[in-house]
Amino acid sequence: MANPAMPLGDPDATVVVGAADADATLVVGGAPAGARPAAPPASPSSSAPMSGNAARVEFLRKVQARAQAKANEAKAKEAQAKAADPTLSPTVTTTGAPLAPGQSKDDSKRKKAFFSPTITKLVSRGLLSQRDAISASLRARDQGTTFLGAIAQISTLAGDIAFYQGLAEEAGLGFIANDRELQQMLSEAEWLTFKEADVRGCLLLKPDDLGGARYAAIDPFDVITRDWISDRLAQRATPVVVLPAAFQTVLGSLKTRIEPPKTGDESLVPIDVSWQQETKLLSEPGAADVPLVVDYILQRCHGQGASDVHLEPTEEGMVVRARLDGILHEQSRMPLALHSAVVSRIKVLGGMDVAERRRPQDGRIRVMIRRSPLDIRVSTLPTVLGEKVVMRLLDDSAVRPSPEQLGLRDRHLRLILDKITAPHGMILISGPTGSGKTTTLYSCLSAADRERRNVVTIEDPVEYRLKGVHQMQVNEKIGLTFASGLRTILRQDPDVVMVGECRDAETARMAVQASLTGHVVFSTIHANDCVGVISRLLDMQIDPFLVASAVTLSISQRLVRIACKHCSVMVEGREVLRQLRAEGVSDEKMQRLGLSIDERMPLSQPTGCANCRHTGYSGRQDVFEMLEVNAAIRKLIISGNHDVDEIRRLANESGMTTMAANGIQMVADGRTTYAELFRVFGEG
Ligand SMILES: [Zn+2]
């Protein structure tokens, strides 16, 4: 339905990277969901695997494209920054394609030059009067909406089927002419609230016959909305032109259905900062209302998927940083004068002592951001410049991934499910802090049969509530430790037990015992890799025979960032090598980590774009290594001659793929980069 040759006024449609990305993935395999065909009529040969000269030419073309893209990117970024706020967006840039060659400048009539080619065509087809077009564009400028947004407000035009039909034709898009049709095609999503649908003039539709995402739009050229929806659906969404009159009718009837529910829980602080409030706040942060500043920071960081928010007093002002995909990014700077008031507000919300500024404090806030309840753990730290606040955002509504969704490969998935459903055994997970161990633990738990088995946990702290699981929290003050909690759990006739961490020998010993007496036990343990887990247990003076009999699976994991699929270009292995060496990665390190790079291998490399906040990465995924304790390894452990290298050799023999090999596979799939593997693997 979409006509890719028709520019939709999309800033990245003109960025060559978009096109390069689509065929770049052909080399690596597996085009990303929603990848568009290349914008210009692509040569048919580009779909076949390339070799020799063709590949070199292609490579050069992409290098050029990348340079071009960088330049365009800067422009697009600027445009996007302006357009991010509808009240600032100039009419012309968001209404169609003013860039079309030969369109505006050599047009002697000033009036015509005002409109995009599509609108000009509609005027020349007699579907829109010159007068209405001009009055709409003036209205758009005054009210800060797009041209089509303004047309929709003109009552005589909002129901003009001929005009909208023509618009859809010119844009090569589908058309919904009445409310009944719209109602039938409608789909719902939690993130599309009534307010959002109203402000953006869009409603989600059921996918088309080929499974492509679609949405009904009053302004199909509104790129911001298109990107916003595509981001949330994680695939490219195509607009379908809808008659504004029909849209309003349906939206009105939906109001009650998709409006956020009134929550009965009084302890939840509702947060909903509007665009207008946000714009005002950003233009004049000094004059802003303090509660609004706090709301804005939380809403924005939560919206970006941050796991932690840091508020830091510095000489230059109050710096707000958010941890996104494991790395801190500066979000904003506000006047230092605001800092103490903001901290006080957070303390009030968190039930902390506002007057106490010299001692560190902990607190907890429950808020409702837009529609999702959010649990926030607050911690303050007195520094010489003032109190630094760190807020950890624990999103209750975030979906716990099943083992399938964790990105586990076939063999790994089979192994893990096999051990979860076994009558007994011990599954240990290792990895540095922040490597997603908790997520893996929870996903294992969610795979356990909670209806017919008694699933009990002892955690510190309970991070997420899981339905059908009895969760207990460590409380050292009253003597409830991992060890004592586990002892209690074992008297509760459990089938599956999760122990947050085998922190000490006593806990580890009890967990081993529990698994030997007919329970499935999950836990985490501090060790560098799968084999290290075994050594760690033995170092804790646990009998080798018990270790060998209890442990059935040892999992080690690291979180790597996923390369942004919007801005990846193909480069040769030698270019990647050159960059890595320039960053100080030595050949010895490559060797030690088992990451060697083929110079001629085409590799996908992100360049940074608005979609990935110019980091080149968006989202994270775990890389695993799994050691199944089989008969041969068991025998070796019991023999007392448990040499680490020997265990590793046996594991490799029985088909264990190493973390490095799994990481390289991800690079080959275009999911991540060597640079990222070095960053993550190099640390541990
Ligand atoms: Zn990107």
pLDDT tens, 167-221? Answer: 999 889 999 988 888 888 888 777 887 778 888 889 999 888 888 899 999 999 8
Burial category of 277 from C-beta neighbours within 10 Å (exposed 0-12, middle 13-18, buried 19 and up): middle
- Name which residue leads in pLDDT, 267 or 461: 461
Q: Give the integer Cα–Cα distance in Å for 186 and 249.
A: 13
For residue 275, the CA-to-ligand 1 centroid distance in Å is 25
Structure tokens at 312: 């830091």
Q: Give the integer Cα–Cα distance in Å for 606 and 444.
A: 33
Residue 10 has pLDDT above 60, yes or no: no
Among the listed ranges 152-156, 315-319, 345-349, 593-597, which one has the minimum average pLDDT value? 152-156
Task: Note the pTM of the prediction, 2 decimals.
Answer: 0.56
Percent pLDDT > 70 in the chain is 79
Residue 128 has pLDDT above 70, yes or no: yes
Q: What is the pLDDT of residue 305?
A: 81
For residue 613, the CA-to-ligand 1 centroid distance in Å is 7
Quick check: helix, strand or coil at residue 668? helix
Residue 80 pLDDT grade (very low, low, confident, very high; cuts 50, 70, 90): low
Q: What is the pLDDT of residue 8?
A: 40
Residue 65 pLDDT grade (very low, low, confident, very high; cuts 50, 70, 90): low
Q: DSSP letter at 202? A: E
For residue 573, the CA-to-ligand 1 centroid distance in Å is 20
Q: What is the pLDDT of residue 63?
A: 53
For residue 489, the CA-to-ligand 1 centroid distance in Å is 48
Which one, of 555, 548, 552, 556, lies nearest residue 422 by Cα?
A: 552
Residue 419 has pLDDT above 60, yes or no: yes
Mean pLDDT of 288-293: 86
Residue 399 has pLDDT above 70, yes or no: no
For residue 371, the CA-to-ligand 1 centroid distance in Å is 28
For residue 17, the CA-to-ligand 1 centroid distance in Å is 10
Residue 554 pLDDT grade (very low, low, confident, very high; cuts 50, 70, 90): very high
Q: Give the integer Cα–Cα distance in Å for 427 and 371.
A: 36
Q: What is the pLDDT of residue 526?
A: 92
Residue 24 pLDDT grade (very low, low, confident, very high; cuts 50, 70, 90): very low
Residue 558 has pLDDT above 60, yes or no: yes
For residue 338, the CA-to-ligand 1 centroid distance in Å is 33
Residue 234 has pLDDT above 90, yes or no: no
Among the listed ranges 60-64, 289-293, 452-456, which one has the minimum average pLDDT value? 60-64
Bond preceding residue 461 cis, omega within 30 of 0 = yes
For residue 670, the CA-to-ligand 1 centroid distance in Å is 13
Mean pLDDT of 60-67: 57
For residue 567, the CA-to-ligand 1 centroid distance in Å is 4
> Tokens 């890719």 appear where?
4
| Distance from the first to the final alpha carbon of the chain | 50
- Name which residue leads in pLDDT, 41 or 158: 158
Q: What is the pLDDT of residue 183?
A: 85
* For the ranges 186-190, 246-250, 275-279, 672-676, the one whose mean pLDDT is highest: 672-676
- Name which residue leads in pLDDT, 547 or 15: 547
For residue 607, the CA-to-ligand 1 centroid distance in Å is 6
For residue 521, the CA-to-ligand 1 centroid distance in Å is 41
The helix (H) or strand (E) run that includes residue 369 is strand 361-369
Q: Give the integer Cα–Cα distance in Å for 302 and 320.
A: 13
Q: What is the pLDDT of residue 44?
A: 40
Q: Give the integer Cα–Cα distance in Å for 7 and 39.
A: 9
Number of other CB atoms surrounding residue 6 within 10 Å: 17
Q: DSSP letter at 230? A: H
643, 648, 649, 654 alpha-carbon torsion, rounded to 10°: 130
Residue 58 pLDDT grade (very low, low, confident, very high; cuts 50, 70, 90): low
Q: Give the integer Cα–Cα distance in Å for 141 and 90.
A: 7
Quick check: helix, strand or coil at residue 585? coil
For residue 18, the CA-to-ligand 1 centroid distance in Å is 10
Q: Give the integer Cα–Cα distance in Å for 5 and 3.
A: 6
Residue 674 pLDDT grade (very low, low, confident, very high; cuts 50, 70, 90): very high
* Residue 227 C-beta-side C-alpha neighbours within 13 Å: 18
- Name which residue leads in pLDDT, 419 or 396: 419
CA distances from residue 67 to 73, 547, 663 in whole angstroms, order as listed: 10, 57, 29
Mean pLDDT of 267-274: 76
For residue 570, the CA-to-ligand 1 centroid distance in Å is 14
Phi, psi of 336 (to 5 degrees): -60, -30
pLDDT digits (tens, 9 = 90+) for 498-526: 999 999 999 999 999 999 999 999 999 99
**Neighbouring residues of 171: CB distance < 8 A, sequence distance ≥ 6:** 3, 6, 8, 118, 220, 221, 241
Quick check: helix, strand or coil at residue 392? strand
The helix (H) or strand (E) run that includes residue 473 is strand 470-473
What integer best gives the mean pLDDT of the chain? 79
- Name which residue leads in pLDDT, 93 or 268: 268
For residue 672, the CA-to-ligand 1 centroid distance in Å is 12
Q: Give the integer Cα–Cα distance in Å for 331 and 319.
A: 8
Q: Give the integer Cα–Cα distance in Å for 634 and 626.
A: 15
Q: Give the integer Cα–Cα distance in Å for 318 and 314.
A: 6
For residue 605, the CA-to-ligand 1 centroid distance in Å is 10
For residue 62, the CA-to-ligand 1 centroid distance in Å is 16
Q: What is the pLDDT of residue 347?
A: 93
Q: DSSP letter at 32? A: P
Q: Give the integer Cα–Cα distance in Å for 25 and 654.
A: 33
Mean pLDDT of 264-280: 72
For residue 24, the CA-to-ligand 1 centroid distance in Å is 14
Q: What is the pLDDT of residue 61?
A: 60
For residue 602, the CA-to-ligand 1 centroid distance in Å is 19
Q: Buried b vs exposed e over 50-61: b needs ≥16 C-beta within 10 Å?
A: beeeebeebbee
- CA 415 to centroid of chain Cα atoms: 27
Residue 578 pLDDT grade (very low, low, confident, very high; cuts 50, 70, 90): very high
Quick check: helix, strand or coil at residue 165? helix
- CA 638 to centroid of chain Cα atoms: 45
Residue 100 has pLDDT above 60, yes or no: no
Residue 580 has pLDDT above 80, yes or no: yes
For residue 353, the CA-to-ligand 1 centroid distance in Å is 43
Residue 619 has pLDDT above 60, yes or no: yes
For residue 584, the CA-to-ligand 1 centroid distance in Å is 24
For residue 77, the CA-to-ligand 1 centroid distance in Å is 12
Mean pLDDT of 292-319: 90
For residue 225, the CA-to-ligand 1 centroid distance in Å is 18
Residue 7 has pLDDT above 60, yes or no: no
